Amino acid sequence: MRASAASLPPSREILFTVVGGYLGSGKTTLLNQILRHAGERRIGIVVNDFGGINIDASLIDRRGDEVVSLANGCVCCSISAGFAEALARLAHRTKPPEHVIIEASGVADPVRVGYFGSMPPYRLDGVVVLADAETIRARVRDKYVGSAVLRQLRSADLIVLNKVDLVSEAGRTALGTWLSEQVPGARVFPTSQGRVPLAVLLGLHEAGAPGESDDGKHDHGEEYASLSVTMDTPLGEVAFRASVAEWPGSVLRAKGIVYLADDKLHRYVFQLVGRRWSLTQDRLWRSDPPRTELVLIGLACQLDGETMLAGLDAAKAGA
């Protein structure tokens, strides 16, 4: 079926994602991955790098005073001239980016950076925090940066556990247990070399038509799968929210429109990035056939569609 995202009207809003994590957790590698796979999407990147913009030179088209234009049409600028100013410059470009990614500094609290995502025309999509699987536990014990690193993890909507290839199977299990203790309810995407599918990270489908069934992207580290849901029967809002709250941690991202029994005139937009999700009233259905259309993205091995569908069916019944 068609993804609901494609049927949303074009919007002037610019999505805003914060990428945080301590030094060496792989933020720059991740940014370079994003730029390589961004395709036609215009991505803006704001870096707070130590000693200047550190984007892969092969991606750089030319370098201006403030904004670096990248070969694929993306742009990159440095935070050092002032963060609000950098965001304003990006938003006021003749072709503003559709999605802006902020690289927070190694000790920054990404949530505070995320507050800037409430400045129109920006809308906070999510806070992604990278953790180096090999060193994260030692970092959290560090006398200077321990509390900052733990706070980063706790404030993440989505944790990208990087460099898992450097950790033994037993070590991974222990790390998983430790993470779930330190960060209850964490949504974790394990990977290596900063490979995270854009579908998971930014809600972008990298290849083919939007919403194309694309289970098992083997070229981006951990496999992920997407699951599409269409329901014509209106859902009870309370039951729907309860169902979402019960979704397993393997659901990393979801997006779509919802048909609510409580307000049949308006469609509702549902967005989920890791632990962050929202259901907000959108425009009238007008001539569109009212129905719920959701796309869920999660870890391939753990995306249990049947359980979630059962939850949504219950919401239907509750309507």
Binding site for another protein (CB under 8 A): 22-23, 48, 50-52, 66, 78, 80-82, 84-85, 87-88, 105-107, 109, 115-116, 118-120, 144-145, 147-148, 151
Residue whose pair of structure tokens reads 């536990």 in the numeric block = 137
Nearest distance in Å: CB 73, another protein: 24
First-to-final CA distance of the chain? 24
Which phi and psi (to 5°) does residue 232 adopt? -85, -25
Of the candidates 241, 238, 235, the one whose C-alpha atom is nearest the C-alpha of residue 259 is 235
**Given the complex with another protein, which of 51 and 208 has the nearer CB atom?**
51
Residue whose pair of structure tokens reads 């200047």 in the numeric block = 52
Nearest distance in Å: CB 111, another protein: 9
Pairing relationship of beta strands 263-273 and 251-260 according to DSSP bridges: antiparallel
State the sign of the Cα–Cα–Cα–Cα dihedral 4, 257, 247, 312. Answer: negative
Cα–Cα distance, 58 to 68 (Å, whole number): 12
Nearest distance in Å: CB 150, another protein: 10
Nearest distance in Å: CB 24, another protein: 8
**Given the complex with another protein, which of 85 and 232 has the nearer CB atom?**
85
**Given the complex with another protein, which of 77 and 244 has the nearer CB atom?**
77
Angle (CA) 247 249 250, round 5°: 100
100-117 burial: b if 16+ Cβ within 10 Å, else e: bbbbbbbebbbbebbebb
Nearest distance in Å: CB 273, another protein: 15
Cα–Cα distance, 177 to 250 (Å, whole number): 15
**Given the complex with another protein, which of 152 and 243 has the nearer CB atom?**
152
Q: Which tokens is 2 given?
A: 């068609």
**Given the complex with another protein, which of 33 and 78 has the nearer CB atom?**
78
Nearest distance in Å: CB 122, another protein: 9
Residue 189 CB partners (closer than 8 Å, separation 6+): 158, 159, 160, 161, 196, 200, 222, 252, 299
Nearest distance in Å: CB 53, another protein: 10
**Given the complex with another protein, which of 120 and 208 has the nearer CB atom?**
120
**Given the complex with another protein, which of 109 and 214 has the nearer CB atom?**
109
At position 180, the amino acid (one-letter code) is S
